[in-house]
Amino acid sequence: MIEITDLAVTAPGGGTLLQPISLCARPGTLTALTGPSGCGKSTLLRALLGHVPAAAVVSGSVRVGDHSPLTLNPQALRTFRRHHITYTGQDPAAALNPTMRVRALLTECAEPAHAEQALAAVELPDSYLRRRPVELSGGEQRRVALARALARRTPVLILDEPFAGLHGRLQRSIARLLRTMVTEDGTTLIVSGHHHDILHEIADEVRALGSSTAPSSSPSPSSSPSPSSSPSPSSSPSSSPSSFRRVFGRNPYSPEVDPGQEHAGMTREAAEAVLTVTDLRVSRDRRAVLEGINLAVGAGEAVAVVGPSGAGKSTLARAIVGLQRTAGGSVEIAGRVGFVPQDSTGSLNPRRTVAQTLRKAPDVAAALRSVELDPELAQRYPHELSGGQRQRVALARALTTDPGLLVCDEITSALDPVTAEAIMALLDRLRREQGLALLVISHDMGLVARYCTGMSVLESGRIVESGAVADLLDAPQHGATLALIG
């Protein structure tokens, strides 16, 4: 169904966007692409649509079914994209018209019955049909974009980072859905991502870009993910804590050493308050999105806010930095605040180069190196960067303001594990050495365990559990926490 032969893409300035690669995908199979951020995964996926950066030098060939998308004229290319292939990009918010409701977004590309089935398949209720993209969390936007792709029912489906911004249980559910599309519907899938365990479970073949490692074959389709045995997110909060201890013992995510101990034994009572949130409430269309939120972050602390997609985490982050109107309560911040949003595409001015975006930095090259980026990227525009590179530019920009509080919304979701660790290690060093206060929104419980001192679990707009990270992971007392670590 898909045959790529010696495909390579070079930017107009001479930078390598995609090293030569050959790949073959049979009909009704799932091929996964992994590799570090910036290695060319998104460039390869877009080439299957016949889309490459303007003025880029392209060599090699691409065939999808009976079509060669890189050689089609504009009219033939539109027909090919309409009937033969569906693509969902890394930044779903950029692909969803903000003026349209979810129902219109789905039915503009599929029959109403197919649209509602697709929405249910990604675990969103019918009530979401009346909402607009701005009323959705990043994870919910990703699921709506995926539902649009599923509803079209084309023979080839291309998904760029479909698991980013989703919590563990939902990642496994979407993984099973994709595997079912392959085995039962005969769809040919190409999927990129950094969630190696999930990709190896569901893929027929995994290809690592930007690496000399030979292709690795995944287990057969029969080894696709089994339903989670973890308690449901709706498990009663009154369930016996001792039963949770027996189930989990010492949670594998728990750090051997509490990272908070590194900060000179500083306790919450002794730490200088940098962020204080009191009884914060946010409503949208007369519907409570956040209710009764109380939260504090002291100097040198890193507090994680975790919870399922749609719990209100991004809304909380935006309310803290003043980008979301509140219905009540208060937010007090001592000093400057930096914000790194989840949407890396929408957070950068498309008309400014990286150097212009970081113009306030004393040394642009040093600012880029601090977030694991090559200074040669300084003259590129956002559309010439990968999603992970854009996210790191946004982080570098936030750090140039020398903030006392840094609010990070899923800043590692588009990064490969090595880069994610490096970025979190940088923030951890700033926290310990300079007293930077961190509010970290994440679904990566491993990073939370290693780099955060405290954690609050958000579900349905309320904080249902708070405490030291090690304590909550060792003995969770609410179903929402169990669902995240199970």
Task: Give the single-character DSSP code of 230.
Answer: S
> What confidence score (pLDDT) does residue 259 get?
39
pLDDT, position 271: 59
Which of 311, 304, 312 is CA-nearest to residue 470? 304
| Residue 67 structure tokens | 């079509």
Cβ–Cβ under 8 Å, residues 340 and 398: yes
Helix 112-121 to helix 138-152 angle (10° resolution) is 130
Q: Are the C-beta atoms of residues 398 and 344 closer than 8 Å to each other?
A: no
CB 171 within 8 A of CB 445: no
Hey, which bits of 199-324 come out as E strands?
A: 205-208, 216-217, 273-284, 287-298, 302-306
Model pTM score: 0.73
Beta-bridge partners for 455: 304, 467
How far is Cα 162 from Cα 470, in angstroms, rounded to an integer? 29
The answer to whether 137 and 90 have CB atoms below 8 angstroms apart is no
Q: Can you tell me which residue has the tokens 């929402």? A: 480
User: Which 8-state DSSP code applies to residue 221?
Assistant: G
pLDDT digit of tens for each residue in the chain (486 aa)? 999 999 999 987 777 889 999 999 999 999 999 988 888 999 999 999 999 888 889 999 999 999 999 999 999 999 999 999 999 988 877 778 889 999 999 998 888 888 888 899 998 998 899 999 888 888 888 899 999 998 888 999 999 989 887 877 888 889 999 999 999 989 999 999 888 889 999 999 999 997 543 344 444 443 333 333 333 333 333 332 222 222 233 333 333 334 343 433 334 444 578 999 999 999 987 888 999 999 999 999 999 999 888 889 999 999 999 998 899 999 999 989 999 988 777 788 989 999 999 999 999 999 999 888 999 999 988 888 888 888 889 999 999 989 999 999 988 887 888 888 888 998 999 999 999 999 999 888 888 999 999 999 999 999 999 999 999 988 888 888 887 776
135 φ/ψ angles, rounded to the nearest 5 degrees: -90, 5
Burial class (CB in 10 A: 0-12, 13-18, 19+), 312: buried
Cβ atoms 102, 132 nearer than 8 A: yes
pLDDT at site 70: 94
Handedness of CA 294, 298, 303, 305 (dihedral sign): positive
Cα separation, 195 vs 32, whole angstroms: 10
Residues 126-138, buried b or exposed e (16+ Cβ, 10 A)? eebbebbbebbbb
Check residue 486 and give its pLDDT: 61
pLDDT, position 211: 55
Could you tell me the two tokens for 173? 């559910």
C-alpha 15, offset from chain centre: 26
User: What is d(CA 318, CA 189) in angstroms, rounded to the nearest whole number?
Assistant: 35
